[in-house]
Amino acid sequence: MKKRSARNHAHGAAKASPDSIAPHIRRLLLALGEDPDRPGLQSTPARVERAFRFFTSGYGRAVSDVVGSGVFEQETDEMVIVKDIELYSLCEHHLVPFFGRAHVAYLPNQKILGLSKIARIVDLFARRLQVQERLTTQVARAIDEALEPRGVGVVIEAAHLCMMMRGVEKQNSVTVTSCMLGRFRTDEKTRMEFLTLAVRDRPK
């Protein structure tokens, strides 16, 4: 039992809920016409529960937990950009994945944020049931509140399996969302500098 708990913790699993998901997954398999007792499915309910605990491990955590002591005093007014941050999330409408990249920028105001913290903030909100539009806004507002910078810009590009595997079945479609705060919203030159740098020479 101790060994399993350690493994779950190493994979970032959220705290076990008193309401287990596994029995509901078993009933789902039955409703789909499957036999949950056949060898290939016997452990599936427990595996799905562990997977979904990890996929939604952003619940119950605050931005302050992620940022910690990662804010530093620094006199600089140059734009900071972290681009091509991989993200994986679950569409709240169908519980299927969407995945892509986030591009995040801010204009410091006497404070900077450790670069890894930006990626961790993206993960914090991505590891919840989401819609891309809300995810984009949450990341931007979290950085804005943590740093009080002169501006924040966030662009997310993602592919949604709910569009690719079902419905319109458009495998090459990409959804792009943005949230601009402060100077990124009011100053076109700042906004265009960010957008140009964010998409330049990115991986195909």
Q: How far apart are CA 89 and CA 97, in angstroms?
A: 6
160 carries an active-site annotation: yes
11 is catalytic: no
Which residues, other chains included, contact 6 with Cβ-Cβ below 8 Å and sequence gap of 6+?
none
Q: Which residues pair with 111 in a beta bridge?
A: 73
Q: Catalytic: which of 24, 93, 148, 171?
A: 93
**Active-site residue among 103, 157, 160, 179?**
160
**132 catalytic residue (yes or no):** yes
Active-site position among 34, 94, 110, 193: 94
Is residue 171 flagged as an active site residue? no
> Which one from 34, 110, 162, 193 is the annotated catalytic residue?
162
Name the DSSP letter for residue 14.
Answer: P
Does the active-site annotation cover 49?
no
Q: Among residues 24, 74, 92, 171, which one is catalytic?
A: 92
- DSSP calls for 46-110: HHHHHHHHHHTTTTT--HHHHHTT-EEE----S-EEEEEEEEEEEETTTS-EEEEEEEEEEE-SS
Determine which one of 49, 132, 157, 179 is catalytic. Answer: 132
Look up 9 and say whether it is catalytic.
Answer: no
Catalytic choice (91, 130, 138, 157): 91
Task: Tell me the catalytic residues.
Answer: 91-94, 132, 160, 162
